[in-house]
Amino acid sequence: MTLQERKLQLISQLTFTENKNVIKEIELLLKKAKIEEYEKSLKPMSKKEFIAKINEAEEDIKHGRVYTQKEVEQYFKNKFK
């Protein structure tokens, strides 16, 4: 059975289940898989890169390239409506 066929079969089974716990467990499993996949894509920063980022942030602060907490909250509120 191909992956596509397995997905379709799973969708079909989910359509007919009335067990909320099964649905909840599948949601948790998918969420966990998504997090694990994201974490695999992360690359640790070297000490040199880390110091460069700190210096860049300090320069941003020095030159007024900063946002208030409210501005950041509003930005993300609008972005994810």
Q: What is the pLDDT of residues 11-40, one digit of tens each?
A: 999 999 999 999 999 999 999 999 999 999
Question: What pLDDT, on the 0 to 100 scale, is given for residue 54?
Answer: 98
With bands split at pLDDT 50, 70 and 90, how would you rate the model's confidence at 51?
A: very high
Q: Among residues of the chain, what percentage have pLDDT more than 90?
A: 95
| Average pLDDT of the chain to the nearest whole number | 95
Looking at the predicted structure, is the pLDDT value of residue 8 above 90?
A: yes
Across the chain, which distance is largest between two alpha carbons, in Å?
60
The residues, ordered by sequence, that sit 6+ positions from 67 with a Cβ below 8 Å of its Cβ are: 75
Looking at the predicted structure, is the pLDDT value of residue 81 above 90?
A: no
